[in-house]
Amino acid sequence: MIGEGPRPGEVQTFTALYNAQFDRVYRYLRYRLGNPVLAEDLAAEVFSRAWRKRDTLLPGDAATGWLFTTARHLVADHYRRGPDALPLDTVPPERHPRGAPPEVGVLLDERSALVRRAVAGLGDRERAVVELHFVADLRHREIAQALGTSEGNVAKILHRTLRRLRAALAHEEVTDEQPTGQTVHATGERR
Amino acid sequence: MNNRLDRLFTRRASAADRRFAALLDQAITRSSGSLADTTAEERAELATARLLRAALVPDAAPLADVRARVWREVQARIAPVAPPAPRWHGLLRRTRPLALAGLAALLLLFLPVLLTWPWSEEPVLTGPAAVLLQAASAAAPPAVPEGQVLHCIDAQTHGQPDRAPWSGQREVWLDPHRRLLRVDITGSPKTAGQPDSGIQRHTFDGTTAWQYQPSVGVVRRDATTYEQLATRFPCALGDDLTALRQVLARRAPETAVTIGDETLDGAPVTVLAICVAATDNRTAQLVFDTQLLAPAPTAAGFPVRYTFDRDGRLIRKESWILGSTAVIGPNEERLSYTFAPAEQYPASFFGPNAIARP
């Protein structure tokens, strides 16, 4: 079913890799692309390439790093091709032609928007580290593999960036306390 | 120089960095660790980390469905496309040494003839090129030699009454079995920013998705079908959406709503368009619903008819692509196209100026 002539155990190893890493890869792609359909497409491409590279793909952190390196390149290629249309996430539900029910919408509060804006304002390296850690749930060692740097460098960048973000968010009076009674904005989202 | 110094500096993580990294990783690995001896500064930074985690990944919904769907897609992309082995395959394998010896003997026998054959005097357009040219004009083209992929370029110009002319070319690849491998349509945009600009690529070998710029699609690898996951076209916002939806709601099921008329390849077609989200006062997104309703399948277009229910929901989608039909049910987002054998393609598909390259 999978590929042509896989060696014994390869399918099981690949399946285990997929099950262990899919959620992280998909969430990272979806965050970067803002488009669940495109995220699915690129996630399929990431793992398809992983299967073709199975002979050289080492298990463990190296494989995780390779998956995210590939995912980052695919995202970069996607944006290099040109501006995308307006993501459907930004389509208000009431304007959706198929009358999407309100439950498909995702509530993004002001705090989330502020945090995302602060992260978007980081440098490429810092933003990559933050996204890989907080969105993809990668550990420092795995981030180091994905970015081709040292674990110590990742620790340093993340610590320094968190301090910057903390200062920036404090300036915006954003804290980690649960918001109560705040205004929220609904954003339509296709499933 | 400065960059190098910066890299050297940042690689030297301090003890505080490493300690904080361990604290952060605890949250991912869910490993037990005591936070009792953390400093106030570290606790504040961990609070920022919690804030980031909650804000950047607000949707923690289970991904089982997505995981299963993508897994099927991965399997489709990496599945082999080799044709089924014939029954005599085993016999051939057993007799392979004998066959090889026979081939070697034949080669030696005909070597003098091969060495003296006037290869350079062969005309340029022969073999697959001639076959393809013949295919463009004949109803029943002869078989294509095995082991060659044909490549056809068709330059054409579309003129539409209310728009600037579009010119471009369509490139078609066929495999040795005359199955459609890929269609590339490149063209100069009608006008900068118009929705039809960009590259439209249908790849049927599973390696590249449909790449119409604002669209996303996935091509299955069996070389006969592809699944179009979603298409989103920006379009000019010419109609008021509210009024359009009211029109749709009043229509009875099985009735297609048409808006606007255009021509395609000189034949009148009807364009059904629903614009949903204005990005500004002039542009909008068209979700799923830009379609061409032609009286019959045309060479250049993929006519599709959409049927909506009284609530304006899509309940049926019919598509004719080169003589094939596909239908999806209510509210489904996937549409599988099945392509007819290449022999059934209209001759105009290849265009009058088609040239062929092996």
> pLDDT grade, residue B90 (50/70/90)?
low
Residues of A in contact with B213 (CB under 8 A): 81-82, 84-85
A11 to chain B, any CB pair closer than 8 A? The answer is no
Shared domain for A100 and A176, answered yes or no, is: yes
* CA-angle at B289, arms to B285 and B292, nearest 5°: 120
Burial B264-276 (b: 16+ CB within 10 A, else e): beeeebbbbbbbb
Shared domain for A107 and A32, answered yes or no, is: no
Q: Do the Cβ atoms of A23 and B289 come within 8 Å?
A: no
Domain termination site, one of A54, A81, A108: A81
Shared domain for A140 and A75, answered yes or no, is: no
Report the range of poorest mean pLDDT among A102-106, A110-114, A148-152, B183-187. Answer: A102-106
Domain termination site, one of A81, A111, A141: A81
Shared domain for A124 and A49, answered yes or no, is: no
**Which of A166, A175, A182, A190 to mutate to probe the B interface, most B CBs <10 Å?**
A166
User: What mean pLDDT comes out for the span B298-314?
Assistant: 40
Q: Decide if A3 is inside a domain.
A: no
Q: Decide if A88 is inside a domain.
A: no
Nearest to A4 among B17, B80, B217 (CB): B80
Kindly list the distances between the CA atom of residue B141 and the CA atoms of A122, A186, B133, B341, in Å, as whole numbers in the listed order.
60, 57, 9, 12
Q: Decide if A65 is inside a domain.
A: yes
**Closest chain A CA to residue B278:** A91
Q: Decide if A1 is inside a domain.
A: no
Is residue B106 predicted with pLDDT exceeding 50? Answer: yes
Shared domain for A50 and A107, answered yes or no, is: no
- Asked whether the beta carbons of A2 and A11 are under 8 A apart, the reply is yes
CA proximity to B219, closest of B285, B152, B173, B265:
B173
Tokens describing residue A132 = 């890989």
ipTM of the complex: 0.74
Shared domain for A123 and A180, answered yes or no, is: yes
pTM of the model: 0.44
Angstroms from B132 CA to nearest CA on chain A: 32
Q: What pLDDT score was predicted for residue B110? A: 78
Q: What pLDDT score was predicted for residue B125? A: 32
Residue, of B160 and A21, whose pLDDT is higher: A21
Shared domain for A44 and A73, answered yes or no, is: yes
Supply the CATH number for residue A36's domain: 1.10.1740
Residues of A in contact with B216 (CB under 8 A): 35, 37-38, 41
> Which residue has 């929901």 as its token pair?
B313
DSSP state of B288: S
**Chain B residues 205-264 with a CB less than 8 Å from chain A:** 209, 211, 213-214, 216-218, 229-230, 232-234, 241, 245
Q: Decide if A147 is inside a domain.
A: yes
Q: Do the Cβ atoms of A156 and B14 come within 8 Å?
A: yes
**Closest chain A CA to residue B242:** A95
Angstroms from B246 CA to nearest CA on chain A: 11
Angle in degrees, 0-180, between the axes of helices A140-147 and B15-29, rounded to the nearest 10: 100
* CA-angle at B227, arms to B221 and B232, nearest 5°: 135
Range of the domain at A119: 95-184
The string of pLDDT tens digits covering residues B220-275 is 222 232 232 223 222 222 333 343 343 333 333 323 333 333 333 343 333 333 32
Nearest to B25 among A44, A134, A140 (CB): A140
- Asked whether the beta carbons of B347 and B239 are under 8 A apart, the reply is no
Angstroms from A64 CA to nearest CA on chain B: 14
Q: Do the Cβ atoms of A2 and B77 come within 8 Å?
A: no
Shared domain for A146 and A175, answered yes or no, is: yes
Q: Decide if A86 is inside a domain.
A: no
Residues of B in contact with A150 (CB under 8 A): 11
Shared domain for A68 and A138, answered yes or no, is: no
The string of pLDDT tens digits covering residues B38-88 is 777 777 778 888 878 777 775 666 778 888 888 888 887 776 544 444 555
Number of domains in chain A: 2
Q: Decide if A5 is inside a domain.
A: no
Tokens describing residue B105 = 């003997």
DSSP string, B307-338: EE-TTS-EEEEEEEETTEEEEE-TT---EEEE
Domain termination site, one of A81, A115, A142: A81
Shared domain for A99 and A162, answered yes or no, is: yes
Shared domain for A177 and A100, answered yes or no, is: yes
Q: Is B131 helix (H, G, I), strand (E, B) or coil?
A: helix
User: What mean pLDDT comes out for the span B322-351?
Assistant: 39
Kindly list the distances between the CA atom of residue B249 and the CA atoms of B37, B170, B212, B239, B246, in Å, as whole numbers in the listed order.
64, 39, 31, 16, 5
Supply the CATH number for residue A149's domain: 1.10.10.10
Is residue A133 predicted with pLDDT exceeding 80? Answer: yes
Q: Decide if A179 is inside a domain.
A: yes
Is residue B159 predicted with pLDDT exceeding 60? Answer: no
Nearest to B75 among A2, A36, A134 (CB): A2
Angstroms from A70 CA to nearest CA on chain B: 15
**Closest chain A CA to residue B288:** A97
Shared domain for A72 and A104, answered yes or no, is: no
Percentage of chain B modeled with pLDDT above 70: 19
